Copies of this chain bind each other. A is one copy, B any other.
Amino acid sequence: MSALLTLEPLTREAFAPYGDVIEVSGEPDKLINQGMCGRFHDLAKLDFGSGQAGISLFDAQARHFPYTLDMMERHPEGSQAFIPLSGVPMIISVAKDNSGKPGLPRAFLSKPHQSINIHRNTWHGVLAPVERAGQYIVIDRIGDTPNLEEYYFQDSYIVNV
């Protein structure tokens, strides 16, 4: 039997326990380039453990509704940011830890130009572009030691609009 997850809009406040939402909000922290550019400064809590920051590119196939969440993963050694290059929204599933496995997940739907940064060691679903394939720049930890833990649910969750 599958439990249903209600999709929530992605806001900084709602997502705060799991990570950062990176978007234009309010006035810039600083005007640069002779006033031609606003800088919104240092919007994500990055942490790469014993490794270092790297920039990679994910080219991901489309996911569709109803979406089945049957697995979550976490990265004990680092945060992971996703930046949409093609304006394709993401289904973002996250959960707090419950004795070494994911607690009840929450599912968020991003807007086209919202980027996210998932905090180190936070349970999350895989990259899930909505209805279209999408390319995403990923900022995560580059290192030689293991950095992936997976948990498969006995009963999967269904995410629907």
Determine whether A10 belongs to the interface, using a CB cutoff of 8 Å to chain B. no
In Å, the complex CA distance between A113 and B57 comes to 11
Q: Is the CB of A22 within 8 A of B58?
A: no
Q: Is the CB of A55 within 8 A of B36?
A: no
Residue on B nearest A148 in the bound complex, by CB: B32
Residue on B nearest A137 in the bound complex, by CB: B83
Partner among B23, B84, B127 whose Cβ is within 8 Å of the Cβ of A57: B23
In Å, the complex CA distance between A28 and B59 comes to 8
Q: Is the CB of B39 within 8 A of A56?
A: yes
Determine whether A121 belongs to the interface, using a CB cutoff of 8 Å to chain B. no
In Å, the complex CA distance between A48 and B46 comes to 13
Can you give 7 contacting A-B residue pairs, CB < 8 Å?
A22-B55, A36-B126, A40-B57, A40-B58, A44-B55, A83-B137, A85-B85
Chain A residues within CB distance 8 Å of chain B: 22-24, 28, 32-33, 36-44, 46, 48, 52-61, 63, 81, 83-87, 113, 115, 117, 126-127, 135, 137-139, 142
